[in-house]
Structure 1
Amino acid sequence: MKPITLARQFESTALLRGMMWLGSAQILGRCVRLGASVALARLLTPEVFGQAALILTTFELLATLIRRITSVTLIPMDDEELGAHMNRARGINARACQAAFLLMSLASLPLAFYYQDNALIGPMVLMASAYLLQPLGMLHAALNQRRNDMRVLGRAVLWQTIADGILTTVLALLGLGIWAIIVPKLASTLVWAAVHRAAVRPPRPSARVGTQPLARRGIETGLADSAVALRFSIDTLLIGYFLGIQAVGIYFFAYNTALGISLGLIQSFGIAFYARLSGTARGRASGRAQFLGGLSTMALVTWPLILLQCALAPWYLPLVYGQQWIDAGALPIFLCLCLSALVRPMGEAAGQLLLANGLSTANLIMNLVFTLFLTAAIAMAGRWGLVEVAAAVLACHLVGMPVMAFYAWSRCGLPAAIMKGNALPPGDAS
């Protein structure tokens, strides 16, 4: 067997192992969350689902802006640089989370005014409080990812999801409505932080003063991540604008049942992929040769699951969640969104490759362009109905995700020889 084949096989196996630790945690957590989602689907109305969708969408958009504000720069650092930047990273994390809390709390007022629903304000402010808890684990999570310790990252995801799912189910059965969705998010954030803090001790800050611009690259990465989150969420926001909060609830249900497990696996892939690329960059200057191997590995894991979901959907959706969601028209929306997951890993891999090669600005521009393209398509489809919106989302991803993958491949200078598996660029051989 050629050395290049052995090297690629090793990289794919390592990536798959990292994905499996995170992905298995996601799947186990989703099994717990299934009970919560069944309880919510049977106990809550589409209007309450719509309120939850608006609150969680707003939270996620701001969360992605700050989630990697320092970690994306800390992860590739050597030990000496890391010690020099510890105190600055803590300060930046705290200030970013405080700003996110303030922004989301203020955003509750115009949203409540627009939808004529003052019941949105309290849950939104409480949800925003989760930002103030995140600095407890942000630095530790970055250090665990830097060590490529996917077991710890997987445990943090698993126990966070279990805590969220169990508490949501209990509160929903107690009849707490929207609070059954919001309150568990705060408790599960503490669980996530505790797992990361128990696994690693940050190095002592060194006497040397850090000189790398932590916030600049983090802000660019955060903006790109927010563009990604916006492309995941823009359909929800525009449906609320064009079709009302009940339509948001129906779409939100279909979105979460169709993409819940798939997006969890894709996010796990992104975390493991970036950690592998960054580790490769520290040792060999570039991890570009893993690009296609990562995509093929992800396809082998997700495609059978997605196609099985689509095939069984007409049977298990009404059985598990209730016939009322089928009557509301959720099935064709579910199928379109589920099929869009087939190509979503391409966009994730493209972004991680650009970041690992120091092209955070290119990553931001790429994601903004696709988000604008998706927004225009949804805005046009939203004038007709939910099924048309879902079809537009599917069409945009089928076109846009391969284009993003090709752009990242070209931007990072991957020659045709790599694509054909014939050779590696200088410095990329193990």
Structure 2
Amino acid sequence: MPSITKQIMSGAKWTSISTMCITIIQIVQFALLGNMMTLTEFGLVGMITTVTVFAQIVLDMGFGAALIQRDDATERQLSTLYWLNIMTGVLLFVLLYVSSPVIAGFYQREELVFLIRILAIMFLIAPIGQQYQYMLQKQLHFNTLSKIEIFSNVLSFGYLAIAVFMMDAILAYVISQVLLQSSKGLLYWAVYRKKWHPAFVFDLRGMKEFFSFGAFQLSSRLVNRLGANIDMILIGRFIGAEALGIYNLAYQIVTIPVLKINPIVTRVAFPVFAKNKYENSVIREGFLNMTKMLALVSFPLLIGLVSVSDAFIAAVFGEKWLAAVPVLNVLAIVGILRVLMNPNGSVLLAKGRADLAFYWDSGVLLLYGLSLFAAVQTGNLQTVAWVYAIISVFNFLIGRWLLSYVIKLNLSAYFQSIMKPFLITAAMGIIAFGVSLGTEHFSLQAEMRLAISVAAGALCYLFLLVKAYPQTKSKLLRKGRLS
């Protein structure tokens, strides 16, 4: 049996390819929307995104993780799960359609009624392939999953790039999201239906174990997402759509790496950890290697972004969005911590401790909710961002303690695994920031300042990376000779 690190790296290779492609597509997409939309319209995107996130979690009901974690699911149970997903999708469509005026009233934006009703269509189609996705994931078929995700994102963006010039940008965006989720569901079904198809049975009595695990997982994910999105909800309600547009742009920029790196972790780590659930030493080894890998990828992306944030915003989104720069710089702290915290969930679920994840997330939600509710009363976005960052630091530290309890993780070993990547990235950030400041004196356009600063930072990072990890150079040279 391959070592846990090899299993993780093999799965991560395909998922990384998918992630890189999708990240590029999303950056271009947000640049397009940022230039085509007003600040208020971008705020509506934040409101719609929040609704979508919660509805997708309810659609899963925690059964996806239960299916991957359990090795003894019967054909009868699998078929029941499938039809339960289909029925949940129909129920979500009805609930969103009926409750759209209530959601619009909460945000005081009437246009949300029509947009949410269009969005709800995805929940009639996506569930067709949802269980097939989990089966592919359980069997570690990450190459197939990656190809489907790349194709669906290209299809969705291709539609958006054309439609945004033919209709309201916000409507084009909503339809593109329906197309994205629906095409993924249909493709998962198409590639796996010959290997398995559900029988026409529905037996809830045999689902006790799935409901027990899934209930905690569903509750934990809902609480976790509420904690992660409560800032958006409160800003949209109490400060307004334009302020949410500014905040949402900054938030989306710093979380694109998070949302795209996270699937590499959860999709690969959870099934691999679950196969080794009784061996804490094996999970610790995989967890520390994964943490180092995440740090080497996320630190330069987010710290580098802060170093050139003003030039980046002006060049990519236009000067009308410069108010987002101070918020972005603070939220980068949140982005880094969220990447580092992501493997926590995979470990807890693999150990069968969805209950711990739920209790932890519930406590954090209460803390986030009270703190951010107080922060939005100031009407200042930077205050909201700083409060969010401070609570995230506290959440991160609690998470380290929890892992030391569950898998006996040595905290010294953990911080040692991220120290070298942090020092390398800090040096890179100083260089990039210095170059960015220096280029201001030459009256260069934002695009040129950004290109020069990024090039200087990237060269610095690669040089220090090879110095700190000599084995990286030998691997690159070896691959170069083979090619």
Interval of TM-score (by shorter of Structure 1 and Structure 2): 0.7 to 0.9
Match of 2:321 in 1: 325
Q: 1:389 is paired with a residue of what secondary structure? A: helix
Following superposition, the deviation at residue 260 of structure 1 comes to 1.2
Amino acid at match of 1:338: A
Q: 1: CA distance between counterparts of 2:320 and 2:202?
A: 62
> Is residue 28 of structure 2 the alignment partner of residue 32 of structure 1?
no
Q: 1: CA distance between counterparts of 2:20 and 2:411?
A: 37
Amino acid at match of 2:397: P
Going from structure 1 to structure 2, the CA distance change for 1:102 and 1:331 (only over 3 Å counts) comes to same
> Is residue 47 of structure 2 the alignment partner of residue 54 of structure 1?
yes
Q: 1: CA distance between counterparts of 2:410 and 2:40?
A: 52
Going from structure 1 to structure 2, the CA distance change for 1:211 and 1:180 (only over 3 Å counts) comes to closer
2:388 is aligned, of 384, 389, 393, to 393
With a CA cutoff of 8 Å and minimum separation of 6, indicate the structure with the bigger relative contact order: 1
Amino acid at match of 2:371: A
Match of 1:220 in 2: 216
Amino acid at match of 2:365: T
Q: 1:223 is paired with a residue of what secondary structure? A: helix
Q: 1:196 is paired with a residue of what secondary structure? A: helix
Question: What TM-score comes out, normalization by structure 1 length?
Answer: 0.87
Following superposition, the deviation at residue 170 of structure 1 comes to 1.6
Following superposition, the deviation at residue 157 of structure 1 comes to 2.4
Q: 2: CA distance between counterparts of 1:302 and 1:91?
A: 39
Following superposition, the deviation at residue 285 of structure 1 comes to 8.9
User: CA-atom RMSD, angstroms?
Assistant: 2.6
Q: 1:341 is paired with a residue of what secondary structure? A: helix
What per-residue deviation string (whole Å, max 9, x for no partner) do you get for residues 52-83 of structure 1? 211220121121233253221221333x6342
Q: Is the 8 A contact 1:263 1:341 kept in 2?
A: no
Amino acid at match of 2:111: A
Q: Is the 8 A contact 2:262 2:342 kept in 1?
A: yes
Q: 1:81 is paired with a residue of what secondary structure? A: coil
Number of positions where the alignment pairs a residue of Structure 1 with one of Structure 2? 408
Following superposition, the deviation at residue 226 of structure 1 comes to 1.6
Between stretches 283-292 and 253-262, larger displacement belongs to 283-292
Q: 2: CA distance between counterparts of 1:159 and 1:91?
A: 26
Q: 1: CA distance between counterparts of 2:18 and 2:326?
A: 29
Question: What TM-score comes out, normalization by structure 2 length?
Answer: 0.78
Amino acid at match of 1:45: T
Q: 2: CA distance between counterparts of 1:21 and 1:68?
A: 27
Going from structure 1 to structure 2, the CA distance change for 1:226 and 1:200 (only over 3 Å counts) comes to same
1:218-257, aligned counterparts within 5 Å? 218-257=214-253
Match of 1:423 in 2: none
Going from structure 1 to structure 2, the CA distance change for 1:16 and 1:390 (only over 3 Å counts) comes to farther
Q: 2: CA distance between counterparts of 1:165 and 1:338?
A: 26
Q: Is the 8 A contact 1:346 1:402 kept in 2?
A: no
Q: 2: CA distance between counterparts of 1:18 and 1:120?
A: 39
Match of 2:478 in 1: none
Between stretches 271-280 and 136-145, larger displacement belongs to 271-280
Match of 2:154 in 1: 162
Q: 2: CA distance between counterparts of 1:117 and 1:368?
A: 29
Q: 2: CA distance between counterparts of 1:419 and 1:403?
A: 16
Q: 1:178 is paired with a residue of what secondary structure? A: helix
Q: 1:118 is paired with a residue of what secondary structure? A: coil
Structure 2 regions of 5+ residues with no counterpart? Answer: 415-483
Q: 2: CA distance between counterparts of 1:231 and 1:160?
A: 29
Between stretches 11-20 and 223-232, larger displacement belongs to 11-20
Going from structure 1 to structure 2, the CA distance change for 1:126 and 1:361 (only over 3 Å counts) comes to same
